[in-house]
């Protein structure tokens, strides 16, 4: 009995250390929403990263090109980086936001992260394995982010019971 009371006090203490707005949000969630917390968190983080990186890529394509070690030699190169690094990433980020806000898209958003970000991580890893050149911190950081994101999304997806697509 004493242990159970101690655990409750510890849980209350941890909950009280959270920012008040987040604390209110967590406490207002039902069991189903609480089970979705990990998935919503990875969807929110992904949305933020994808949208911000997409905006930078759209506004100044030379920035992501330079980080990735690419050289843009003409206007087609700028358009390509702006569209694939900018437009595509912004669109994916917006879908992640929609998956957070609309429960019927929650699992589809997680599936998107598992498949898409997982495939990018796999392709990046393969690219790293076939080159003899030194791999920079940009590529290592991207690989760590992609593997972590895909793994967390897969874990959240495994805990979800909703249908993958809206009915």
Please tell me what DSSP assigns to residue 105. G
Other beta carbons within 10 Å of 17:
8
List the pLDDT tens digit at each of the 167 positions of the chain.
445 545 444 545 555 555 666 555 555 454 555 668 899 999 999 999 999 999 999 999 999 999 999 999 999 999 999 999 999 999 999 999 999 999 889 999 999 999 999 999 999 999 999 999 999 999 999 999 999 999 999 999 998 876 555 55
The two most distant CA atoms of the chain are separated, in Å, by 72
Sign of CA dihedral 145, 149, 152, 154: negative
Other beta carbons within 10 Å of 12:
10
0.85 exceeded by pTM: no
């Amino acid at each position: 009995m004493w242990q159970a009371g101690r655990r409750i006090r510890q849980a209350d203490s941890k909950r009280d250390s959270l920012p008040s707005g987040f604390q209110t949000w967590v406490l207002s969630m039902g069991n189903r929403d609480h089970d979705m917390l990990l998935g919503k968190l990875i969807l929110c983080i992904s949305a933020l990263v994808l949208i911000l990186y997409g905006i930078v890529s759209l506004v100044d394509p030379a920035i992501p090109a330079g980080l990735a070690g690419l050289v843009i030699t003409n206007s087609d190169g700028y358009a390509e980086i702006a569209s694939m690094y900018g437009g595509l990433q912004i669109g994916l980020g917006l879908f992640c936001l929609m998956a957070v806000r609309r429960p019927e898209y929650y699992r589809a958003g997680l599936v998107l992260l598992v498949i898409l970000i997982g495939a990018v991580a796999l392709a990046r890893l393969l690219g790293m394995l076939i080159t003899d050149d030194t791999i920079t911190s940009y590529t290592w950081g991207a690989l760590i982010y992609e593997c972590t994101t895909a793994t967390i999304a897969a874990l959240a997806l495994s805990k979800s019971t909703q249908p993958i697509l809206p009915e």
